[in-house]
Chain A
């Protein structure tokens, strides 16, 4: 099992009361699987993704990535663990505004020294059809190009798991298709994709679609009712 979540819970304090963002979620994902988690805004999708990404410690439960719980590691070791095991793609792209396309893709190399890193970055950029934009900054790119750069950055260090938070949320149909094809290809090559989205079209590309509401994964019947509603 590449990724295993065991009874994960997480709540936040909101004013005088607590909000249960994730409520006892358990989930197993194998290598080569593309799993989509679908649900409305504020249902806990992004929180779950941050917990899986080793960025947000759960209140209870356990996250296991290749049998390692990242939360038992020190901060620095967890950062290193992220840089070797996980790739992130966000709806807002989160590119570094002052770095060129090439430097943005190379950014993970700041955390891990990879051999022939520049060559690999250039290959990825070429693969995403951005070779003419090598020295352009994010401000000079279209939204679709920005998301492709973000994908290239996420794939740069060959992670085991790709975590995608509404990766097509800001894209047109053409670019959404490109992004989803890349995610499918990544899973097809033995990687694991965990994508959260409320977009029906996007989740169609996943091999498994799970519903989430009020921090809980829904049974299949409830999920279908939720999607239909």
Chain B
């Protein structure tokens, strides 16, 4: 006969009390373990999603590059229409058009029935010193696209720069420390910076774009333009530049035509933009997942302590009820010589046993819930990756500890009961 035997016999006798106590521990441990397992499943799922997304971005980038190569091969190209007297070799060396031609040329071209050129953009461009900033820039004036009258209206490829506004290339904005919304003066005229471009790695980085009319005034080139840019030109023949030269030459005799902006550059820009979009989407997904995990963690941080406290209180109540029901038994055990520490031990050992059994059952219940609701793909063997020996061990340590803490006061009350009072009443 031992105390342990007595405790086991009592647990078998008062099954309901034992089962209710056990249920409390199982619920508390299962709740905690399910929360932890689900959070772990969330993290694993996030890693998997991000890994998959990253792979998709890589593949999509490669596909996009290939598609762009094929598409741009068949699509239009950009040309620059230059004044008849422009020295092309000088232009190729400096990138600046020295000569000019009447702005009227744009109108002529727009009113013609030419089909090989599209999206006409008249422009002036000169290398000047920005006096207020003491800085050399390429000042470019542009008025946006000139509509071609015999065509259906097309969506413009490039927006015009409104009067009083300014767009800056990368090096200029970096050098002068300017940003969108800043107000500056250029050659005495006020401008508001509306846009700054990212680095392009060409002359655009050192360019300041303003409205064409204002640029003509500042540069003393009223009704003159340096060049007409035509975007997305189409040609049926292989020698596309020659074909366009022929067509444009009939309308603007003597003007010179060169191709501008090789397709490779456009492809690279498109690819970079697609890549940047994909990376942004990847980051967004990551942020969303982190937010989801944090929401789950916050919910668990509230729910789990509440459940554990509730179950602890319930175990305490059950222990108290158990002590009350066993008052006569405690009295007789004390009368036959059991020490108060032994009576205390009877209740604490029982709580520890309930805690141990409850922890074991609760762990596997919580783990099962975590595996079922974690929705991890079978391929990664969720049963294995979500099983944690450490949590099982911690459950086996802390559940008996909490159960015995919850039973501490009832056990003390039992140990301090006066056997004489009980036996007199009994």
CB within 8 Å for A110 and B13 given contacts A50-B424, A79-B339? no
Chain B residues with CB under 8 Å of A28's CB are none
Which residues does chain A contribute within 8 Å of B331, judged by CB atoms? 94
One of A90, A106, A157 near B423 (C-beta < 8 A): A90
Nearest neighbor of B9 in chain A, beta-carbon distance: A98
Question: Is A56's CB within 8 Å of the partner chain B?
Answer: yes
A50 touches B423 (CB 8 A): yes
Q: Are the CB atoms of B426 and A94 closer together than 8 Å?
A: yes
Known: A90-B426, A96-B329. A111 touches B9 (CB 8 A): no
**Which of A32-40, A61-69, A80-88 lies at the interface with chain B?**
A80-88
The reply to whether the CB of A199 lies closer than 8 angstroms to some CB of chain B is no
Known: A55-B420, A99-B9. A110 touches B329 (CB 8 A): no
For chain A, the count of residues having a C-beta within 8 Å of the partner chain is: 34
Q: Looking at the assembled complex, report how far the CB atom of A10 sits from the nearest CB atom of chain B, in whole angstroms.
A: 10
Q: Taking the nearest CB of chain B, how far is it from the CB of A155, in angstroms?
A: 12
Set A47, A99, A118: member contacting B424, Cβ < 8 A: A47
Nearest CB on B from A147, distance (A): 14
Determine how close the nearest CB of chain B comes to the CB of A102; give it in whole angstroms. Answer: 9
Among A79, A96, A118, contact of B332 (Cβ-Cβ < 8 Å): A96
Q: Are A79 and B9 in contact (CB under 8 A)?
A: no
Residues of A within 8 A of B335 (CB): 53, 55, 82, 88, 94
Docked-complex contact B336 and A153, CB < 8 angstroms: yes
| Chain B contact patch, size range | 20 to 34
The answer to whether A111 and B336 touch across the interface, beta carbons within 8 angstroms, is yes
Task: Given the known inter-chain contacts A90-B426, A94-B423, A106-B1, please indicate yes or no for A79 contacting B13, CB distance below 8 A.
Answer: no
Q: Do A82 and B423 touch (CB < 8 A)? A: no
Say yes or no: is B419 at the interface (Cβ < 8 Å to chain A): yes
Q: In the complex, are the beta carbons of A92 and B426 less than 8 A apart?
A: yes
B336 touches A107 (CB 8 A): yes
A111 to B331, CA, bound (A): 14
* A28 CB, min distance to chain B CBs, angstroms: 23
Given A79-B337, A94-B332, decide whether A110 and B6 contact each other with a Cβ distance below 8 A: yes
Partner of B3, one of A92, A96, A110: A110
Count chain A CB atoms within 10 A of each CB in B10, B329, B336 and give the residue with the most. Answer: B336
Residues of chain B within 8 A of A83, CB atoms compared: 336-338
B340 an interface residue at 8 Å Cβ cutoff? yes
Q: Which of B314-349 contact A (CB under 8 A)?
A: 328-329, 331-342
Residues of B within 8 Å of A110, CB to CB, are: 1-3, 6, 333, 336-338, 342
| Complex interface: chain A residues within 8 A of B332 (CB) | 88, 90, 94-96
**Is A112 an interface position by the 8 A CB rule?**
yes
**Contact partners of B342 in chain A: CB under 8 A:** 110-111
In the complex the two chains form, is A111's CB within 8 Å of B423's CB? no
Task: Tell me the nearest residue of chain A to B415, going by C-beta.
Answer: A75
Query: How many Å lie between the Cα of A103 and that of B6 in the bound state?
Result: 9
How many Å from the CB of A194 to the closest CB on chain B? 15
Is A108 in contact with chain B by the CB < 8 A criterion? Answer: yes
A109 on interface, CB distance cutoff 8 Å? yes
Can you list, as one digit per residue, whether each of A39-55 has a CB less than 8 Å from chain B (1) or not (0)?
A: 00000001100100101
For B423, the chain A residues whose CB sits under 8 A away are 50, 55, 90, 94
Nearest CB of B to A208, in Å: 25
**Which residues of B lie under 8 Å from residue A94 when comparing CB positions?**
328-329, 331-332, 335, 423, 426
Contact at A76–B14, with CB atoms within 8 Å?
no
B338 & A97 in contact (Cβ 8 Å cutoff): no
Determine the distance from Cα of A109 to Cα of B335 in the docked complex, in whole angstroms: 13
Interface-central residue, B2, B332, B341, B419, by most chain A CB under 10 Å: B332
CA–CA, A98 and B322, complex, Å:
14
A117 within 8 A of B: yes
Q: A97-B13, A98-B9 are in contact. Are A111 and B420 (CB under 8 A)?
A: no
Chain B residues, Cβ within 8 Å of A157:
337
State whether B12 touches A98 (Cβ < 8 A): yes
Contact residue among B2, B12, B334, B420 (Cβ-Cβ distance under 8 Å from A79) = B334
Provide the residues of chain A in CB contact with B341, threshold 8 Å. Answer: 76
Interface readout for B19-57 with A: 1 if CB under 8 Å, 0 if not? 000000000000000000000000000000000000000
Decide if B92 is an interface residue (CB 8 Å cutoff): no
Shortest CB distance A39–B (Å) = 16
Residues of A within 8 A of B337 (CB): 79-80, 82-84, 108, 110-112, 157
A109-B424 in contact (CB<8A): no
Contact A117 B12 (CB under 8 A): no
B5 in contact (CB, < 8 A): yes
Q: Which residue of B lies closest to A98 (CB)?
A: B13
Instruction: Name the residue of chain A whose CB is nearest to the CB of B12.
Output: A98
Chain B: minimal CB distance from A64 (Å):
19
Cβ 8 A contact of A46, one of B10, B329, B419, B424: B424
Query: With the chains together, A108 CA to B1 CA distance in Å?
Result: 9
Residues of A within 8 A of B333 (CB): 96, 107, 110
CB distance A98 to B340 under 8 Å? no
Q: Which residues of chain A have C-beta atoms less than 8 A from B339's C-beta?
A: 75-76, 79-80, 111
- B2 CB contacts on chain A under 8 angstroms: 110
- Shortest CB-to-CB span from A161 to chain B, Å, is 13
Which single residue of chain B is at the shortest CB-CB distance from A91? B426
29 pairs from A and B in contact (CB 8 Å cutoff): A55-B419, A75-B340, A76-B339, A76-B341, A79-B337, A79-B340, A83-B337, A83-B338, A88-B332, A88-B336, A90-B426, A92-B426, A94-B329, A94-B331, A96-B6, A96-B329, A97-B13, A97-B329, A98-B9, A98-B12, A99-B6, A103-B1, A103-B5, A103-B9, A110-B1, A110-B3, A110-B342, A153-B336, A157-B337
Extra contacts, 14 of them, besides A79-B337, A98-B14 (Cβ < 8 A), are A79-B334, A79-B338, A79-B340, A82-B335, A82-B336, A90-B423, A90-B426, A99-B6, A103-B9, A107-B336, A110-B338, A111-B337, A111-B338, A111-B342
List A residues at the B interface (Cβ < 8 Å). Answer: 46-47, 50, 53, 55-56, 75-76, 79-80, 82-84, 88, 90, 92, 94-99, 103, 106-112, 117-118, 153, 157
